[in-house]
Amino acid sequence: MDRDVLMHQMEERFREEFSKALQALEDAPDGHWIEASEMAFRDAALTVAREGLELAVQAKVDAHATAQAAAFSPSPPCDQRPPASSE
């Protein structure tokens, strides 16, 4: 797991999401700044947290020593079935 790569990826995502939230604040009418933008900031924070966790966990799984050994293609379906009992 390369922390620097993950940090860089999430810094970019944070900037994108925070930019959207700042735009919502900029577009908010006078006297309604909080009301018009608080959900945009909440959504940005939740998005970054969720994506960050997903990315970090996936990187940890990919870097785990047994990850490659555990990855295998399933065998093709078998056409042979045991005979049905006639009871």
Do residues 1 and 55 lie in contact, with contact meaning Cβ atoms separated by under 8 Å?
no
The reported pLDDT for the residue numbered 69 is 65
List all residues 6 or more positions away from 40 whose beta carbon is below 8 Å from its beta carbon.
20, 21, 23, 24, 25
Rounded to whole angstroms, the Cα distance separating 53 from 51 reads 5
Would 48 be classed as within a structural domain?
Answer: yes
The reported pLDDT for the residue numbered 25 is 98
Would 50 be classed as within a structural domain?
Answer: yes
Please tell me the number of Cα atoms within 13 Å of 31 on its side-chain side: 0
CB atoms inside a 10 Å sphere around CB 21: 19
Would 71 be classed as within a structural domain?
Answer: no
Count of domains for the chain: 1
The reported pLDDT for the residue numbered 30 is 97
pLDDT at 78 over 70: no
The reported pLDDT for the residue numbered 58 is 94
Would 68 be classed as within a structural domain?
Answer: no
Which tens digit of pLDDT belongs to each residue from 17-58? 999 999 999 999 999 999 999 999 999 999 999 999 999 999
Domain that holds residue 7: 3-62
